[in-house]
Chain A
Amino acid sequence: MLRADRISSVGSSPSLVAIRARRLRSLRLYIIGDTVACEVGALVCLLLYATAEPSVFFLWQAADLAGCGGIIVLALRPADRGDEEWAVTLLCLVNWFLAIVGALVTPHIGTVMALAAVIPVVFAMPYVSLSRLRQLMLGTVISLIAIGILSRVQDVSQLDTHIPAALEDVLVIGTVSMIALLILLVVWQAYQDLMQTNNTLYELTADLTLQAEKLAESRSRLVAATDNARRRIERDLHDGAQQQLTALAVRMDLAGRALSEHPQAETVLGALSADLRSAIRGVRDLAHGIYPPLLADAGLRLALPEAAARLEPACSVGVCDVPRYPTEIEVAVYFCCLEALSNAAKHAGPEAQTELNAVGTDERLMVTISDDGPGIEIGAVKNGHGLRNMADRLAVVGGTLNVQSTPEQGTTVTIEVARPPLAG
């Protein structure tokens, strides 16, 4: 059951605010009901004293009921302040006192008093913390023991011994009726609480599901936007700076040719040309790292072997007939493979054999990168950025990452995306 303070801390949800407001109303109703029951009981006792039987018993009962009623009504103050825990604690204390005094004055209706001592803790449950609930349970047990002792092993007061049987019946029936009313109130409140909590949980679950879906969509859009930006930067580098540098290199060669009769100028131009070619290679490699053009043009079937071929030491690749997949999947899998290959090169050692195999079926795409190196301590690397980034990247496209490593036998990274390839 949701606790009141937990609910208030959650705060803004309209359903939770409604639950809190309803519980507060129930608490006020209970306090007022309890107070009215006590005061009416006190009046009845006084009436019986005045009209039926002038026994001190009735005066005791009236004093007990009126006093307790007066204290119970004080619980409205903490309740109005929002401190339900103290309000229900006060209710429990007064009700236990009432029940114990009732058992002292009227030992033979101790069972009814025991019932009255149990109700408050049941009512208190939604309003208190666990530690306070434990205290209230302990208080209830002590009260019940006290009532049991007072009703079974004593009749110290002997106040009710001279009460006519008919009046006693009225007394018992009246008390039981009041307690029954309180029990009904508690049951009703618990039922309402349960229903509203169920509805709230249902609404919250639906809300959370919707938010999770929105979050996943937003994450996909962000990744797609990042991929598009990478592709655009690669295109801009290729179409802009690289073309200008290339044209410059070609013209510089022409100038060198034109100045072939001036060896000094030719030497300078030759050096410039070499620098320029180095710059072109730099831009080309940079653009390739940002977004490999072969991936966009031909997919993983050609891009993965090309990536593996650039590695030192070389890696054997099997990517037979891997079909085309949606761009976001190809990009995610490609960069994860690069990371896994780079990890293998880093951790497996120069002597290790690394192998990349990719299989694409109608249902899924699976790539394994395995090496026969010394293995890695998965726990240690799992929290590193590399594997986490790979897992995050794959999660966006509904993919999974699995890393298995055996000491002295090597490491296998499995990338799996359960999505069908593009048609055709």
Chain B
Amino acid sequence: VGLHHSANVIWATKMGPMSSELINVVVADDHPAFRAAAAEVVSAAEGFVLASAVESGPEAIAEITRLVGPVLVVMDVQMPGMTGVAATREIHDRHLNATVVLVSGYDRRDLADINECGAAAFVPKEDLTPALLTAIWREHAAS
């Protein structure tokens, strides 16, 4: 999991939109307050469009399979039922065309198994910004 850093953010902001095609974003979080805030972040990010905001991992997977083209998923690590880590692992195992950004209110040190689940990045929830989404997408696309 690549952690964001400030250099990436500045670089991404200066570079502007990555292409003319908008990237679909799915937000998956069981907390309504953060789900709404994350949706606003996506809406404010250039080059991204909010496809849907869902409450669970299975719903996120269903959305990804429904959408055409690459998808960026903002996924909460801990959700009731299927966790964000389990959902990310399934997305990875099924080779779905989605880049997952794991987000959490917990400290990264308090989360188990987030390193090998196939997520592109981990971001503390309060650090989620449009610029960061862009940076992560660029970094992941480049790799």
Interface hits, B96-143 → A, CB 8 Å = 105-107, 109-113, 125-126, 128-130
A250 within 8 A of partner (CB):
yes
Q: How far is the CB of A271 from chain B (nearest CB, A)?
A: 15
Contact partner of A257 (CB less than 8 A), chosen from B31, B110, B126, B130, is B130
State A306–B33 Cα separation when bound (angstroms). 29
Stretch from B14-22, B36-44, B48-56 contacting the other chain? B36-44
Which residues from A are CB-within-8-Å of B36?
A: 247
A309 within 8 A of partner (CB):
yes
Which residues from A are CB-within-8-Å of B110?
A: 288, 292-294, 306
State A245–B38 Cα separation when bound (angstroms). 13
Interface SS majority for chain A: helix
Given A250-B37, A257-B130, A243:B109 Cβ within 8 A: no
Q: How far is the CB of B111 from chain A (nearest CB, A)?
A: 7
Contact partner of A251 (CB less than 8 A), chosen from B31, B40, B106, B107, is B40
Q: How far is the CB of B55 from chain A (nearest CB, A)?
A: 13
Interface hits, A83-113 → B, CB 8 Å = none
Which residues from A are CB-within-8-Å of B109?
A: 294, 306, 309-310
Assess the B44–A254 pair: CB atoms within 8 A. yes
Total cross-chain contacts (CB, 8 A): 71
Given A247-B33, A284-B107, A293-B106, A298:B126 Cβ within 8 A: no
| Residues of A in contact, count (CB < 8 Å) | 29
A280 within 8 A of partner (CB):
yes
Q: How far is the CB of B136 from chain A (nearest CB, A)?
A: 15
Q: How large is the interface on B (under 10, 10 to 19, 20 to 34, 35 or more residues)?
A: 20 to 34
Q: How far is the CB of B44 from chain A (nearest CB, A)?
A: 6
Assess the A302–B112 pair: CB atoms within 8 A. yes
Could you say which of B31, B37, B41 has the most chain A C-beta atoms within 10 Å of its C-beta?
B37
Given A251-B40, A254-B40, A246:B34 Cβ within 8 A: yes
Given A250-B34, A294-B110, A284:B40 Cβ within 8 A: no
Given A257-B44, A284-B106, A284-B107, A239:B31 Cβ within 8 A: yes
Contact partner of A250 (CB less than 8 A), chosen from B107, B112, B125, is B125
Given A257-B130, A280-B126, A284-B105, A251:B112 Cβ within 8 A: no
Which residues from B are CB-within-8-Å of A276?
A: 126
Assess the B38–A250 pair: CB atoms within 8 A. yes
State A292–B109 Cα separation when bound (angstroms). 10
State A288–B106 Cα separation when bound (angstroms). 9
Q: How far is the CB of B26 from chain A (nearest CB, A)?
A: 17
A419 within 8 A of partner (CB):
no
Which residues from A are CB-within-8-Å of B31?
A: 239, 243, 247
Q: How far is the CB of A309 from chain B (nearest CB, A)?
A: 7
State A251–B128 Cα separation when bound (angstroms). 10
Which residues from A are CB-within-8-Å of B34?
A: 243, 246-247, 250
Interface hits, A213-266 → B, CB 8 Å = 238-239, 242-251, 253-254, 257
Contact partner of A246 (CB less than 8 A), chosen from B37, B44, B111, B129, is B37
Instruction: Point out residues on B near A: beta carbons under 8 Å.
Output: 31, 33-34, 36-38, 40-41, 44, 78, 105-107, 109-113, 125-126, 128-130
Q: List 19 A-B contacts (CB under 8 A).
A: A238-B105, A238-B106, A239-B31, A242-B105, A243-B31, A246-B33, A246-B105, A247-B36, A250-B126, A251-B37, A254-B40, A254-B130, A257-B129, A280-B126, A288-B107, A288-B110, A293-B78, A293-B106, A293-B110
Instruction: Point out residues on A near B: beta carbons under 8 Å.
Output: 238-239, 242-251, 253-254, 257, 276-277, 280, 284, 288, 292-294, 297-298, 302, 306, 309-310
